[in-house]
Amino acid sequence: MAQSARTGAAAAPPAPRLAFDGVSMDYDGVRAVRDVTFDVQPGEVMCLLGPSGCGKSTLLRIAAGVERQSAGAVLENGVAVSDATRHDPPESRSIGLMFQDFALFPHLTVADNVTFGLKRSLNGARRRVAAAYLARVGLAGYGAKYPHQLSGGEQQRVALARAVAPRPQILLADEPTGNLDETTGAEIADLLFGLRDRHGATLVMVTHAPELARRCDRVVTMRDGRTLASDGVKAAAE
């Protein structure tokens, strides 16, 4: 069990188990996800691997609550957060989503982007949270800048800080190293794996990068909206 970063603080609660049970998704009569069923264990780092358009990103958005599936259920620790009769909003789930295209708000400063999901916090607390998480991703002092003033790698770091600021127990990352140079991509990957190593967070990542997949505990391969295999890293990533 991961220990809190604060000296003497209690250990963080274990991450919940995330499960997909018969999840399907239709867009205008076209089935993007087809009867997907698998579990992600607490503290696991899982990779979703497969060609573009096979349903990987859609599955992450469904898990986060950004989209609602057409059929099936999403569960945390065996309790449905979305099924035929219930759909918990994203802010009530223990899940954070790091979007592939960053999805930063151009009219907000970097600090305000990071704390966007912390509406209940006082202004002073929000500023401290923003400064702390920006420092963790190597962007100390960037809070007053705007997204257009940052490089792609810096925007990716802001997106990561925003995703983890609410302290989700499960983090979903959609192509976290995509469109980044090799060095910056490796730094982002190290930050993500550090969340598991330091805080026991569960990670689910979509990627086309075999080198990133090989670092994961398990790889789930998808094609045409279906899961084809759930296997060891070497077999699935090769």
How many C-beta atoms surround the C-beta of residue 1 within 10 A? 10
- What is this structure's pTM? 0.83
Sheet with strand 218-223: strands edge to edge? 95-98, 170-174, 202-207, 45-49, 218-223, 226-231
Q: Give pLDDT tens digits along the chain (238 positions).
A: 333 333 334 455 566 789 999 999 999 889 999 999 999 999 899 999 988 899 999 999 999 999 999 999 999 989 999 999 999 999 888 899 998 888 899 999 999 999 987 766 666 788 888 999 999 888 999 999 999 999 988 998 999 899 888 888 899 999 988 878 888 888 888 888 888 887 788 999 998 888 888 889 999 999 999 998 666 544 444 4
Q: Identify the residue whose tokens are 């940052």.
A: 150
Paired sense of beta strands 79-82 and 30-40, if any: unpaired
Nearest by Cα to 189 from 200, 202, 175, 199: 175
Give the domain ranges of the chain.
18-94+168-237
Task: Name the token pair of 15.
Answer: 């991450």
The type of residue at 102 is: F
Q: Which fold has domain 18-94+168-237?
A: Rossmann fold (3.40.50)
Residues 91-138 have pLDDT tens digits of 888 899 998 888 899 999 999 999 987 766 666 788 888 999 999 888
**Can you tell me the distance from the alpha carbon of 22 to that of 101, in angstroms, rounded to the nearest whole number?**
28
Q: How far apart are CA 232 and CA 230, in angstroms?
A: 7
CA distance 161 to 229: 32
DSSP assignment of 127-184 equals HHHHHHHHHHTT-TT-TTS-GGGS-HHHHHHHHHHHHHTT--SEEEEESTTTTS-HHH
Q: Kindly give, in sequence order, each residue whose CB lies less than 8 Å from that of residue 88, ignoring residues fewer than 6 positions away.
A: 65, 81, 82
What's residue 220's pLDDT?
93
Write down the pLDDT at residue 142.
96
| Farthest CA pair distance, the chain | 55
Question: What 8-state DSSP symbol labels residue 83?
Answer: S
Q: What is the pLDDT of residue 229?
A: 66
